[in-house]
Amino acid sequence: MEFDTIAAISTPLGEGAIAIVRLSGDEAIQIADKLFRGKRNKRLIDVQTHTIHYGHLLDPKTGEVAEEVMVSVMKGPHTFTKEDVVEINCHGGIVSVNRVLQLVLRAGARLAEPGEFTKRAFLNGRIDLSQAEAVMDLIRAKTDRAMNVALGQMEGRLSKLIQRLRQEILETLAHVEVNIDYPEYDDVEEMTHNMLLEKANLVRVEMKKLLETSQQGKILREGLSTVIVGRPNVGKSSLLNSLVQENKAIVTDIPGTTRDVIEEYVNVRGVPLRLLDTAGIRETEDIVERIGVEKSRQVLKEADLILLVLNYSDDLTKEDENLFKAVEGMDVIVIINKTDLPQKIDMEKVKELTGKSPLVTTSLLEDQGVDDLEEAIAALFFSGSIETGDITYVSNSRHIALLHQALHTIEEAIAGVESGVPIDIVQIDFTRTWELLGEIIGESIHESLIDQLFSQFCLGK
């Protein structure tokens, strides 16, 4: 394929001492060469691939030195885009990196669209679609764990699994064809049915397993939406503040998203929490009072995690009990705060209300017990399997939606076989499942969908 040469700043603006302007395309090396002045008249068009060169960029209009740079030259196909790629490392300030970008644009490059580098890697066959999306997730990954999921996907773990499932389906379809065309035995009909059932079930089980991990994957990527509830004055705001202060607040750098709701992301031992910072959610002191238990259940239902705060130095009240009712069945951690004050709370009663949920005691005033709370949060969401790192996660919502459809289709196929629907009808469902799985890895996908997906990427990636 042939493309023009694109360029963009590929490091976050205003961060770090060094910034990179990246070029990709047939003319990438020539364009950089026009601007570059190295030692002993070294020319970039003459250098070996995958080498880095110190020098200056000159402004061709004035002949003056514009920037001190290090330039990496990488010839295709062994590059991210499979095209010739040049990376110009320059000083990190906005002014100098912009000057470099302007120079390469004037020398013949075109400003890249958001995600265009990754799109080229996809179109040039360097990566498949789920890998391309993983690059996007990487850019957005908010914690180390989320990063690992994205990395695993980029290495093609999800792709491999999907490809294996598609292969199973394809082989089954081929077998069915053969059986129908060349019936060797009288009971070929029954044999075909049995084989279809067996394979369909196999594929169904694998897809189900994959979908079961999807919730965890989503949590890793987007953060657990966490709501702190409790009566007035029990210490909700204090809890929120101490969680934000003790843990690195995660700065999100997703460009172009406007948010009505300001969220605070904190990373608690690898668990990303999204503390919703809206009136009435951050402070839910009297929502139960105001709208009643049933309604508040509706509000709280959206939350992944509830932190229910009680006051150690006060009697349990009807309000407290209503809160327990409102969060029944959800992931709850009960926190008894103000243990520095004399006890008034009835612990037996608290334990009864708490049931199997984790229970921690804190004195937020004296900074006691927050560690235990963090421990409890981590234990709740990273018990066992998720630590091992060799599970294939789906965390991308497009993948999840397609998997759901594929699962639904294969279940229809199974129901069809079981109720004696003619084989050629069942074949349609099989083929459809195969197609849906293909869409996850970008085969048989519609062009406009590709454009839409890649436009979500950050510029310069």
Residue 237 is a binding residue for ligand GDP (CB under 6 A): yes
Backbone angles phi, psi at 302, to 5 degrees: -70, -20
What's the DSSP call for residue 392? P
> Which residues contact Zn ion (rule: CB under 5 A)?
236-237
Q: Judge whether 142 is annotated as a binding position.
A: no
Amino acid of residue 390? D
Using the minimum distance from each CB to Zn ion, give the nearer residue, 332 or 364.
364
Using the minimum distance from each CB to ligand GDP, give the nearer residue, 337 or 433.
337
Q: Of ligand GDP, Zn ion, none, which one does residue 232 interact with (CB within 5 to 8 Å by kind)?
A: ligand GDP
Q: Judge whether 257 is annotated as a binding position.
A: yes
> From CA 36, how far away is CA 90, in angstroms rounded?
13
> From CA 85, how far away is CA 76, in angstroms rounded?
7
Q: Apex CA 54: angle with CA 52 and CA 60, to 5°?
A: 110
> From CA 46, how far away is CA 73, in angstroms rounded?
10
Residue 244 is a binding residue for ligand GDP (CB under 6 A): no
Least distance from C-beta 282 to ligand GDP, angstroms?
9
Radius of gyration of the chain, Cα coordinates, nearest whole angstrom: 29
x/- contact string, 88-117, with ligand GDP (CB under 6 A)?
A: ------------------------------
Q: Of Zn ion, ligand GDP, none, which one does residue 33 interact with (CB within 5 to 8 Å by kind)?
A: none
Tell me the torsion sign for CA atoms 424, 428, 434, 435: positive
Ranges within 364-403 binding ligand GDP (CB under 6 A): 364-365
Q: Of ligand GDP, Zn ion, none, which one does residue 272 interact with (CB within 5 to 8 Å by kind)?
A: none
Q: Judge whether 16 is annotated as a binding position.
A: no
Q: Are 31 and 109 in contact (CB under 8 A)?
A: yes
Ranges within 328-347 binding ligand GDP (CB under 6 A): 337-338, 340-341
Residue 234 is a binding residue for ligand GDP (CB under 6 A): yes
x/- contact string, 256-295, with ligand GDP (CB under 6 A)?
A: -----------------------------x----------
Q: Which stretch binds ligand GDP (CB under 6 A): 21-29, 216-224, 226-234, 448-456?
A: 226-234
Q: Judge whether 79 is annotated as a binding position.
A: no
Closest CA to 333 of 373, 388, 289: 373
Strand bridging mode 224-230 / 271-276: parallel
Q: Per the structure block, which two tokens stand in for 200?
A: 């369909």
Using the minimum distance from each CB to ligand GDP, give the nearer residue, 364 or 426.
364
Q: Per the structure block, which two tokens stand in for 87?
A: 């990376």
> From CA 263, how far away is CA 113, in angstroms rounded?
28
Q: Judge whether 223 is annotated as a binding position.
A: no
Q: Using CB under 6 A, list all residues that contact ligand GDP.
A: 230, 232-238, 285, 337-338, 340-341, 363-365
